[in-house]
Amino acid sequence: MCNFAFNEGFTILMQDFLATFSQAFQLIFSFDKDLYEIIGLSLSVTFAAVLISCIIGFPLGAILAIGKFKGRNFIRLIVTAFMGLPPVVVGLVVYLILSANGPLGVLQLLYTPTAMIIAQVILVTPIIAALSSQVIIDLNEEYDELLRSLGLSSFAKMKTLLFDARYSLLTASLAGLGRAMAEVGAVIIVGGNINHVTRMMTTAIALETSRGELALALGLGTVLILLTISINAALMMIHSNARKNAYA
């Protein structure tokens, strides 16, 4: 009797699970407007934040790697420590700065995609800067004698190392992209998860799951996983081809 009840319950559970999966894929392949609006906003915010973080993080990493100035090691320590910044704390700080009573409240950026980009830049930049710094340090050790013999200035040396390490720096940007795409805490605080305005994939998944709308949540989760795998695969192929060409 117990076995029969268990089997019946398991069958019903599997039927519900498959039905939810079916609805999720139906939303994806029917090009549901709400689903793809959320995906589009997520990608635009994430890629904008990662691009800005790379523009800041790569030069900062190079400066920390080969620069000679007082307090360099302390700044490197701070940047490395900031790789583990709690997202909710970053969200709270950005919220206080952008709120009506904050120093930048006059800009009215709170609960906008711009606010989410700012929060993600603060989270991602230390990751990219710290990882790129280590890449530049390793490359500098390899080419130190050659670069010194050329008599390059620190700025020229930095540009040379950044250019030569461009494919290795994809790993740093990929780590930043992964952090940005998975972010929930900071963006939900400064963005507010407003429908058609600031609702991203991760915040929508959290909301729809709490509401019991599992089909949309599962559809967004599936797209998020596929995007992450595709981006990783593309960057790995670029890196692999670059290494082959370098040693050809």
3-state SS, residue 30: coil
In this structure, CATH architecture of domain 32-246: Orthogonal Bundle (1.10)
Q: Using 50, 70 and 90 to split pLDDT, how confident is the model at 110?
A: very high
Q: Would you state the pLDDT for residue 247?
A: 45
- CA–CA gap between residue 56 and residue 33 (Å, rounded): 35
Q: Is the pLDDT reported for residue 55 higher than 80?
A: yes
Hey, what are 111's tokens? 């609960």
pTM: 0.85
Per the prediction, the chain carries an average pLDDT of: 84
**Rounded average pLDDT over 70-95:** 90
User: Under a CB-based contact definition with an 8 Å cutoff, are residues 135 and 172 in contact?
Assistant: yes
Cβ-count burial 213-239 (b if 16+ within 10 Å, e if not): ebbbbbbbbebbeebeeeeeeebeeeb
**Rounded average pLDDT over 219-247:** 75
**Rounded average pLDDT over 58-71:** 88
Q: Would you state the pLDDT for residue 248?
A: 45
pLDDT tens digits for range 7-47: 555 466 566 667 777 777 787 788 788 888 999 999 999 99
**Rounded average pLDDT over 49-78:** 90
> Is 236 or 162 the better-scoring residue by pLDDT?
162
User: In the chain, what are the domain boundaries?
Assistant: 32-246
**Rounded average pLDDT over 93-105:** 92
Residues in the chain, overall count: 248
Q: HSE (CB half, 13 Å, CA atoms) of 63?
A: 13
Give the phi and the psi of residue 101 in degrees, each rounded to 5.
Answer: -90, 0
Share of the chain above pLDDT 90, in %: 31
Q: Is the pLDDT reported for residue 57 higher than 90?
A: yes
3-state SS, residue 156: helix
- Selection from 130, 138, 142 nearest residue 172 by Cα: 130
pLDDT tens digits for range 131-189: 999 889 888 888 877 878 777 777 888 888 888 888 888 888 888 888 898 888 899 99
Q: Where are the alpha helices (DSSP H) in 87-200?
A: 87-98, 113-149, 154-164, 169-181, 185-191
